[in-house]
Structure 1
Amino acid sequence: MAVAPEGTPCWADAMFGDVEGAKSFYGDVLGWTFGESSSEYGNYTQAYADGRAVAAVVPPMPGQEGQSQWCLYLASPDAAATAGKIRDNGGEILMEPMKVGDFGTMCLGRDPSGVVFGVWQAGVHEGFEAPPEQRGAFCWAEIFTREPEKSDAFFPAVFGYGAQQIQDDAMDFRMFNLGDDTVLGRMKMTAEFPPEVPAYINVYFNVADCDDAVARATKLGGILRFGPTDSPFGRFAALTDPQGANFSVVDVTTTQGEMPGLTDVS
């Protein structure tokens, strides 16, 4: 698998106070299996869909305990240079670029609106092994922010995205593109979001049956936040897992309605 172009979502992981609980939950809801935890790297444990790496779970490091949250990593050929661009465009570096053995180099950043994300410079670990159409795989992500103008300026400046605005008076939604490929969405958070919910990136995982995945998740203590609902992109639902991490599930084979119009705003 070739290294992803700069700015492409390439990996996702989350810290969980109860790693075994997270493994049980996502194993049932998404069909994941899990590898051996790596004590050398803080008991980092990879998740697999049909034998292909799709994500990872890890216990929190001392001092980082708190609500769980999925972190999306964007590909970079040079994490240190990307960290410089993050700073130059009004963002913050939460974790300086750090080499992780021969796997690669990571850093954590935050955009000016408060969205936390990762940067990954691939070594032997290039990122997602499963394609987005595979069951259990990462297939999409959206930036949720109350200050879209800040994110809209920041992410294209750092990662070179082109942008298109969806023509819909009911929502403020933008697509970020790399060439002809749409790689990331951006949604303006409305008053429906409680004020204590911070800006974040919502990750979507592909499932065979959205309603079944929701039933499994809620039976195991997950909370249904939105849906299931049909869209031109698939039938999807937004959930919170039992440890507080937000994510969505989508059946991309069940689509309904016409694709929305787009306005180029690059």
Structure 2
Amino acid sequence: MTVQPEGTPCWADAMFTDLEGAKVFYGEVLGWTFGESSSEYGNYTQAYVDGKAVAAIVPPMPGQPIESIKSAWCLYLASPDAAATAEKIRGNGGEVLMGPMQVGEFGSMVIAKDPGGVVFGVWQAGTHEGFEVQGVPGAYTWAEVVTREPGRADAFFPAVFPYTVKRMDVEEVDYKVFEIGGAPVLGRMKAGPDDLSPEAPNYVSVYFAVEDCDATVAKITLHGGQLYFGPMDSPFGRFAAVGDPGGAAFGVIALGTTVGDMPGMVAE
């Protein structure tokens, strides 16, 4: 596996107060199995699909007030130098919340916010290079910045990472795609008044691939999760916005179930 180019989504993890409950939920919904918790690193626990690492879950840090914890998926973007990326984040109006921090031999991490409050991670790979598989059922396949402040995201992310930007040529949708070397790696969607509740933060929506979107949504609600939007057909696949019992939002998409023509993209 090759280390991903700078700015490419390379890993995702989430914190849960009920780690065992999260294992049951994601095991049932996405077919994940779990490795041994690493006590040296706060019981960080990797999730696998067919033996390949796809994500991780972690309990709160000791002493962290339970009421302060809001479960959320964090997407990590690859960097050859986490410290230099942290400086770019600060220099372009973002905020570094944690790090740069060395995580043993695995790599170095940063947790940050864009100027609109979107939380994301930065990962400088060591022995842990990131996703071992993508785009198969149960694995990461796409992510998009969902924000009420698209102008801030549009200025920030291409200044920090080497993105070129294209706009989706659809009048009723404000959607842009950040590309690296001509390949799309991350979306940016303007959140309308019905897309986010007033108390919900701007965030990165992480999508996991599934065989059957409707069947997966049924499993999600059966096991205590929430359906926020969909399922809906698209040229990219049938998808839905959902949440787990801990409140962490994510997306599921059946890549093989496509409807309609691909929209045109216009260079910015």
- TM-score (normalised: structure 2): 0.97
Distance 1:14 1:263 in 2: 34
Corresponding residue for 1:124? 127
Residue correspondence of structure 1 range 80-95 to structure 2 within 5 A: 80-95=83-98
Q: Distance in 1 between matches of 2:138 and 2:131?
A: 11
TM-aligned CA deviation for residue 63 of structure 1 = 2.8
Distance 1:51 1:89 in 2: 39
- % of aligned pairs identical? 64
Residue number in structure 1 paired with 2:12: 12
One-letter code aligned to 2:161: F
Query: What is the root-mean-square deviation of aligned Cα atoms in Å?
Result: 0.8
What residue in structure 2 maps to residue 217 of structure 1?
Answer: 220
User: What does 1:184-199 align with in structure 2 at a 5 Å threshold?
Assistant: 184-192=186-194, 193-199=196-202
> Equivalents in 1 of 2:243, 2:264: separation in Å?
30
Matches within 5 A, 1:94-173: 94-132=97-135, 134-173=136-175
State yes or no: 1:257 paired with 2:260: yes
**Displacement of 1:153:** 0.5
* Structure 2: gaps (5+ residues): none
Distance in 2 between residues matched to 1:60 and 1:139, nearest whole Å: 26
- Quote how far apart the aligned CAs of 1:131 are: 2.6
Kindly provide the CA deviation profile for residues 220-263 of structure 1, in whole angstroms up to 9, marking residues without a partner as x.
11110111111000011110111100001111011000111111
Q: How far off is 1:181 after superposition?
A: 0.9
Where has structure 1 moved over 3 Å in runs of 4 or more?
none
**What residue number does 1:181 align with?**
183
- TM-score normalized by the length of structure 1: 0.98
CA distance in 2, matches of 1:63, 1:222: 25
Amino acid at match of 1:28: E
SS in 2 for 1:185: strand
Partner of 2:232: 229
User: For residues 38 and 114 of structure 1, what CA distance do their matches in structure 2 show?
Assistant: 30
1:85-108 CA-to-partner distances (Å, cap 9, x unmatched) read 001111000002000000000011
User: What is the deviation of 1:170?
Assistant: 1.6
CA distance in 1, matches of 2:253, 2:114: 27
Residue correspondences, number: 264
